[in-house]
Each structure stands twice: as structure tokens, then as C-alpha cells.
Structure 1
Amino acid sequence: MITKEQVLEALRDVKDPEINRSLVELNMIRDIQINGSHVSLEVVLTISGCPLKVTIEEDVVAAIKALGAEQVNLRFGAMTDEERAALIAQLRGGQKQQQPGQAPLLNPILAKESTTTFIAVTSGKGGVGKSTVTVNLAVALARQGKKVGIIDADIYGFSVPDMMNIEQRPTIIGEMILPIDKFGVKVMSMGFFVEDNSPVIWRGPMLGKMLRNFFTEVHWGEELDYLLLDLPPGTGDMALDVHQMIPQSLEIVVTTPHPTAAFVAARAGAMAMRTGHEILGVVENMAWYEAKDGSKEFVFGRGGGAKLAETLACELLAQIPLGQPENHPQEPDYSPSVYKQDSTIGKLYMEMAQRVIDKCEVKATL
């Protein structure tokens, strides 16, 4: 006969898909009743409208049926305000939920002892593919087995959710926001909080406050290996806020082969160096177009990436050709901008990710 202890033990392996912690550990399993091969129980969700309720139901039922149960009846409830506050404190390592008027809680990801590597991806001007590089580098790092997050810090020109085909909104529990997980990458963007692609008409201080909220209020879960920040182009307020907020961040500068684009991108690199940040390398995007016969056409000229790397005294991490992912909307993991791992450009991003990992691991030993 199935016992309550067996049910709890089986459910220890079932995780809340947003928090990535065991339902048992989070005290979400209640009122287990067993009558022969019939099991009933209550699952208490963080919020009543949990977007992944169906996933949780399927996982719980499958785990209990694996014990030999013929029928599983689930009831769903929602945590009380007190339970949510206790959960937030638990996830933040025992810190109490902040009271109105108090300074924001320090997110462990920004603590001095954090082992997360911050990589800011920037460019001198828009339209060079900075966000495409950010998204595909993040996915490639995740494919290498790394824990990765993205902050879409381009508040005015946010595009990461659309590029990754993310339609879900983040769950908000009290003062805590849970990022969206896609392709193994945890994503946070201003785009999640804007209705119908409306323009963001804010001044600099409000943008800086939103960026700080992405650090102080977002629960990234277990510590990330890499957190990529997709910065707005140029050297404005947001870029300066990031440099001041994360003095240890590394920088990748994206350009096209065109000499003028590289000349403008040098300003973004110079800003990073003046604020004490290290340039990890340069990515030359749209480096060439490969025709069907295998020949290369250098649509935007040649040499801009190498020249920029020389100017900034850093490595040319990758040259990415013009292309479009061969993804179909009917595919389960469809996205308009993420290249498949075994595609030609996908392989280039995997090689780039390995270079980034190697360079960061060398830095960590120094």
C-alpha cells in the first residue's frame, strides 16, 4: 500500500518550474489522503493564476502514478500573504521581506562573494545585431551546460522577448519577480511590462530605477555562471548606470565590418575602459554573405571588426555572417532569432561561447 511518506519522497523530485525548487521543499504539498490505490492531495500555488499550473499538475500526477497509484485527484489552492512572505524570505536566504520605505534588498547576485560573471554586450550604434549576438551567445553558453541569464537593458529598444518568442509574462510574488526561462536561459526584459509594444516615454532616472529593480527584485534562482546584459547602443545614461552598478562586468563590443560602424563602436569600448571595465572582445556581425555556390560577398566591407579589436587592444571573438535562422513557427521551440546548434551560424556561436568560457576561466585563476 502507498504511504504518505512515499508520496512526499516521490514529489521531492518534482519542481516548481518557475522557482526550480522542490514542491515539498517549498511546502506546496498539503493534505495527502490515501485510499488503497487512490491518492488525493492539495497543491498550494504561489499565486492563484500560476501560468504553469498545468505543467505542475502533469508532473505531480506522473510522479504519484509511478508509485502504483491508479487514480490521483489534485486540488489547487494559493498561498496566503504570510506564506508568500515566508517563501520570499526562504528564497532570499532568510532575509525578511522589505517594508515600505526601506532600501531595496541586496540581491545575492550583486554581492561581493557572488561568482556570477557579468558580460555587458554593447555597440556604438543601433542596427548592428547586438541583441542577436546577446541572445545567441546566451543560448550557446547554456548549451555548453552553463547557468545563464539575460537582462534586456535596452529599455527603449527591448527586443529579446520577441527574438526568443517569449509570450509568457513573469510571475510576481509579493516584491519578487521570477524571470522567464527559455532555451535554458533566464530572461528579464522591460518588454514583459509594456502592453502591446507601446513606446517607453521615460527619462534617465526612471530607466536607472527599472534596471536596479531587475537586480534587487528578480529572483534568479541558483547562482548563475553568466549574466549577459543587452545594453542600449551608444554611451548614454543606461550604459553608464550599468558600468557604475556592476564595476566587475566585462564587455563585448559588437560592430559590422563597415569602417564607420567600427569607428563609432570604439566610443562604447572607450567608455568601458574609462570606467574601469575590461573589454572581453569584439564581435563582427554581418561579416559577409555566403552565396549558394559557397562564395563570400562582403556586403558591408571588410576589416572593421579586426580594426576595432586592434584599437581596443582585445581579441576578435567571432565573425558572424549575414543569415536567418531556418526555424519554422510549427516547431516546439520556435524562435525567430535563435540559431539551431548544428547550423553553420549556430556552430560559430558555440565556438564563440567556448572562447568566452576559456577567457573567463583564465581570468578567474588570476
Structure 2
Amino acid sequence: MQDLKMASSCACGPDKDQQDKEAKLKNKLGRIKNKIVVMSGKGGVGKSTVAANLAAALSMQGLKVGLLDVDVHGPSIPRLLSLSTERPHIEKDYIEPVPWGRNLWVMSLGFMLPDNREAVIWRGPVKMGLIRQFLQDVAWGDLDYLIVDCPPGTGDEPMSALQLMGNDAEAIIVTTPQAVAIDDVRRSVTFCRELDAPILGILENMGGYTCPKCNEILNIFNSGGGEGLSSEMDVPFLGRIPLDPEVVRSGDEGYIYVKTHPESPAAQALLKLAEQISASHKG
């Protein structure tokens, strides 16, 4: 009889630990009003730039925002926000996110790598464990928005983020106008539907070139690809962000484009996106 009691106690141990973790995760997510995953089936579409500027634009409205970078193999959010040298404060039971401005807090694996040349060679379960830790152990507090920047594709990171955050996590899918990008982004729409993840809409980045002399927008790529895909897949179209060399420079130098160039057409498109999103969640 004693042996049976011991066996039963041992069997319950891991279950109790898992229940505690689930309760902690649920409690943390319950303090976040809106969760948005920024993703794309194609690399090089400016997804991280959109995520960083969207998070900053929402915080500039006075909203409390978290920005979580789950790109394990190529975390770029620290550079985009000029936070590459920052390190989060870590205690036994929690991790403090790195602040940017008054209303924006950031977390990325990039903060924890001792050398930016170091390759991260992890399989799927380890990635999911990291994303879970970032969601349940980071002291996000009460947030109006948590913006999650995912790596390109429909692999472990976006799947883990959406599954862990639940069915109220919404996706913004970023594309460029070219057909080669549209083909991959179409798969992102299907991916979200298979996971029952609601789609806020498709955003077309680099949709035209902003002339630095006259601010006229010139279509140097095919135009309308994102809007056409939105119509084809029956999802909302969130707008078009024109290509501006200053966006690239801002990312390299670590300053936020919507803050330093608020009157430019690209910044106006990003600020409008933030206003559109916050207005859709009011009430």
C-alpha cells in the first residue's frame, strides 16, 4: 500500500508542476488586453520593422505596449530599437523586460546572447519552451497590447506563439507587392485558418517608392499585390506602406522611424495603421 502511495505521489508531481505553469501563463495573458502576432510567409518583407514601429506608434498614443521578439535565429528587434547593449534584469521567478520610452517594454533572445555572432541551433521543443518562458516569466504587467514579432515562414515560432496565447491572438500578415512574396504569404493565411487564429488583415510593405525630393510615390515594383491577395483570401486589407530609404537607415542606426519622421508618407501609413488597430479594439 505504501508503495502505491509513493507511486501515486510521484505521478502527480509533474502534473502539478504543469498545472502551475499553465495557471501562471493564463494569469499573465489575462493581464494583456490585445495580442497581435506580426508574421509573414516570406523573409525580407520588413516584418520586424513593421512590428517595432507599430509597437512604438501604439505606445505614443499613451497605450501600454509589450514587444516580444520570438525570432530565435535572427533576433533584430534590439538593433531596431537601439537596445543591443541592454540586458534584462533576471530574478529567480521573473524577468524584467527592457524599457523603451515611457510605455513600451521589450523582450528578445538577442538581449541574452553574449556574442551577436553566435549561432542559435535549437530544435522545435526548445523554441516553444523559450516562447513559453517569455510569456509566463517576463513581468509584462498590465498591457493594452502585446506585439509579437515572428520569423518568416509557418514553422515552430509563429505556431508556438499563436497556440500559447490562445484564440484571441490576432495576426497581421506582412507582404510586399511582388508575386513571389504573395505566393508565400498566401500560405500564411491558410496557416492562421488551420490554427483558428483570427486575422486582423494583410499589410503591403514597400508598396511604391517615396521620392525624397517631391514625396510622390512611384511604383517601382508591381503594385496592388497585397490588396489583391486580401480580396482573393477574403481578409481585410490594412493598407500600403511606401518604400523609403530612411526606413532602412533608421533600422540600421536604431531609431524609430515613426518618431523621427512622423510627417513622411511611410510614417503616416504606419501611424494610421496603429490608429486603425487601437480604434478597432475600443469598447
Q: Does the alignment reach a TM-score above 0.5?
A: yes
Q: Are positions 1:356 and 2:274 aligned together?
A: no
Q: CA deviation at 1:138?
A: 0.5
Unaligned runs of 5+ in 1: 1-100
Q: Are positions 1:303 and 2:220 aligned together?
A: no
Residue 288 to residue 229, structure 1, CA distance change in 2 (3 Å): same
**Alignment partner, residue 266 of structure 1:** 186
Q: Is the 8 A contact 1:283 1:317 kept in 2?
A: yes
Q: Are positions 1:281 and 2:201 aligned together?
A: yes
Distance in 2 of aligned mates of 1:299 and 1:326: 17
Further displaced range: 102-111 or 348-357: 102-111
Q: Is the 8 A contact 1:325 1:336 kept in 2?
A: no
Distance in 2 of aligned mates of 1:204 and 1:115: 26
Structure label with greater radius of gyration = 1
Secondary structure of the 1:288 match is strand
Secondary structure of the 1:211 match is helix
Q: Are positions 1:216 and 2:131 aligned together?
A: no
Q: CA deviation at 1:328?
A: 9.5
Secondary structure of the 2:128 match is helix
**Alignment partner, residue 193 of structure 1:** 112
* Larger helix fraction of residues: 2
Secondary structure of the 2:106 match is strand
**Alignment partner, residue 100 of structure 2:** 182
Secondary structure of the 1:196 match is coil
Provide, for residues 13-48 of structure 1, a one-character-per-residue CA deviation record: whole Å limited to 9, x for no partner.
xxxxxxxxxxxxxxxxxxxxxxxxxxxxxxxxxxxx
RMSD: 2.3
Q: CA deviation at 1:299?
A: 2.1
- Equivalent position amino acid for 1:165 in 2: S
Distance in 2 of aligned mates of 1:326 and 1:285: 11
* Identity across the alignment (%): 35
Q: CA deviation at 1:300?
A: 2.1
| Paired residue total | 256
Query: Aligned match of 1:102 in 12, 17, 26?
Result: 17
Distance in 2 of aligned mates of 1:213 and 1:230: 16
- Equivalent position amino acid for 2:150 in 1: L
**Alignment partner, residue 241 of structure 1:** 160
- Equivalent position amino acid for 1:132 in 2: T
Distance in 1 of aligned mates of 2:279 and 2:24: 30
- Equivalent position amino acid for 2:86 in 1: Q
Distance in 2 of aligned mates of 1:134 and 1:328: 16
Q: CA deviation at 1:358?
A: 1.8
Query: Counterparts in 2 of 1:152-171, with a 5 A limit?
Result: 152-166=69-83, 167-171=85-89
Residue 296 to residue 355, structure 1, CA distance change in 2 (3 Å): same
**Alignment partner, residue 15 of structure 1:** none
Q: Are positions 1:226 and 2:145 aligned together?
A: yes
Instruction: Give every structure 1 segment of 4 or more consecutive aligned residues whose post-TM-superposition deviation is greater than 6 Å.
Output: 326-329
